Amino acid sequence: MTSPKFYQLSKSERLARLVEANQLSEKDAQFLAQSQPLADELADSMIENYIGQYHLPLGIVQDVMVAGKVYQVPMAIEEPSVIAAANNAAKMMRLNGGVTIESGQRVMFGEVVLTDLPQLADAVKWVDNHFAILQTVAQKAHPSIVKRGGGLQKITTTIVENRFLKLNLEIDTKAAMGANIVNTICEAIAHAVQATLGGTILLSVLTNAAFGSVVKASVTLNPETLATATLTGDAVAQRLIDATQFAQLDVARAATHNKGIMNGIDAVIMATGNDWRAIEAGAHGYAARTGHYQPLTDWSWTSDHQLRGQIAVPLPVGIVGGSIGILPTVQVAQRLMAIETAEELAGVIAAIGLGQNLAALKALVSDGIQKGHMALQAKSLAIAVGATASELTTLLPQLLKAPHLNTETATTLLSQIRAENR
């Protein structure tokens, strides 16, 4: 009898097989066997070849003021300094009136591409003249989104390289991120167009270039807010502006500039059960939309000598659908934030991204990025090598003074401390 395939096994059977094949130790298998916070049955239904659960620390950014409302914002991330920086920025922004939000109509885009059409120009005319028919097709394909006031809003046609017919679908997905909604409608439209015009359906799927879901957030700061022990607020503000302008000219710097922004955005996306891969793809696509990769933020002086920061980033997030209603920690995060709409969530996430950029740039152009970062990194390293709470008090100052901050150094110093305390 043929043995069952790996995906056909239960979780315990998969773990046993990995142990039997010497691919996993008994100790590690026992660790993975623990089922928290999801029940095995639920987790197994979410992914293929389920063997365990992966956890990230969940932290909080306190009192983030966005559009006059104060939020407690959860973040799931493994990097020690990110939440500390976000809290620092949140305080600076709150003291200056908080973040304002500008967002237009929130739509998702889907692409239907056909090839082998004999008359591309005629095909364009037909699609342009029969939107009502195609909208009915979309409504039948996904009637529930229509009942919620959403669905297909517009179709734009493009001939690409005199070879491809591209239909760009604009779809209102309401409170959901909407990938499944968009894909369902795209496939229905593709088959309807092919049935009339012929040709070959090349693809029909959403695009993660979600430029119909761009959110803009801005903050205005009194430069005195930015003052450090060694630099005036004006000096820090000007350096921050200069750093942004350099990022506009240098792709290598722009990539790192935007990574710092995504530290905050991704962490909130993770905590709220949204698709961080889609958000990353869309953000970087938006940064390169002109053909030259650019920073997602801009900092400048106002006419009355205040520092103004702005961010524009696509944020096709949802508060329903997908794993959002399944994952218990996500549901807790939603209740903590007290978010009522997807648009509101997107605004808060944009504010976090702007704040993360503010904190990172301020550190870079003043004390340097390592001062605060390494202090937190040292604590994580000390815990990783087994230091107790009482030992941390002695170990951390020594680690920060050491020429090399690594596991070997931490282990050696901890051994010395323990030898002295015997």
Span 398-409, average pLDDT: 83
For the chain, what is the mean pLDDT? 93
For residue 14, which of 27, 33, 1 has the smallest C-alpha distance?
33
How many beta carbons lie within 10 A of that of residue 224, not counting itself?
A: 11
Strand partners, 75: 59
Q: Which residues pair with 159 in a beta bridge?
A: 165
Burial class of residue 60, CB neighbours in 10 A (0-12, 13-18, 19+): middle
Residues of the chain with CATH 1.10.8: 372-420
CATH 3.30.70.420 fits 108-211, yes or no: yes
- Cα angle 14-18-24, degrees, rounded to a multiple of 5: 130
- 58-98+215-369 fold: 3.90.770
Query: What is the pLDDT confidence band of residue 177, given thresholds at 50, 70 and 90?
Result: confident
Which residues are catalytically annotated?
79, 259, 275, 373
pLDDT at 375: 65
Residues of the chain with CATH 3.90.770.10: 58-98+215-369
Q: How many angstroms separate the CA atoms of 90 and 96, rounded?
A: 10
Dist. CA 264–CA 74, nearest whole Å: 10
Can you say how many angstroms the Cα of residue 143 is from the centroid of all Cα atoms in its chain?
A: 29
Cis amide linkage into residue 397, ω under 30° from 0: no
pLDDT at 23 over 80: yes
Query: How many Å from the N-terminal Cα to the C-terminal Cα in the chain?
Result: 62
Amino acid 255: pLDDT: 98
**CATH tag for 372-420 (out of 1.20.1250, 2.60.120, 1.10.8, 1.10.3470):** 1.10.8
| Whole-number pLDDT of residue 368 | 63
Supply the DSSP string of 114-170, one letter for each residue.
EE--S-HHHHHHHHHH-HHHHHHHHHHH-HHHHHTT-EEEEEEEEEETTTEEEEEEE
Please report the sign of the dihedral spanned by the C-alpha atoms of residue 200, residue 202, residue 203, residue 208: negative
| Contact predicate 353/259, CB 8 Å | no
Q: What is the pLDDT of residue 116?
A: 97
Q: Are 51 and 35 in contact (CB under 8 A)?
A: no
Nearest-angstrom CA–CA distance, 110 and 173: 12
pLDDT band at 183 (very low <50, low <70, confident <90, very high): very high
Rounded Cα distance, 422 and 411, in Å:
17
Share of the chain above pLDDT 90, in %: 78
Average pLDDT over residues 291-296: 98
What mean pLDDT do residues 217-228 have? 97
What pLDDT is stored for residue 374 in this prediction? 65
Kindly report, as residue ranges, where domains of CATH 3.30.70.420 are found in the chain: 108-211
CB-neighbour burial class of residue 93 (10 A; exposed 0-12, middle 13-18, buried 19+): buried
Give yes or no for residue 369 having a pLDDT over 70: no
pTM: 0.86
The number of helices, as runs of H, and strands, as runs of E, in the chain is 16, 10
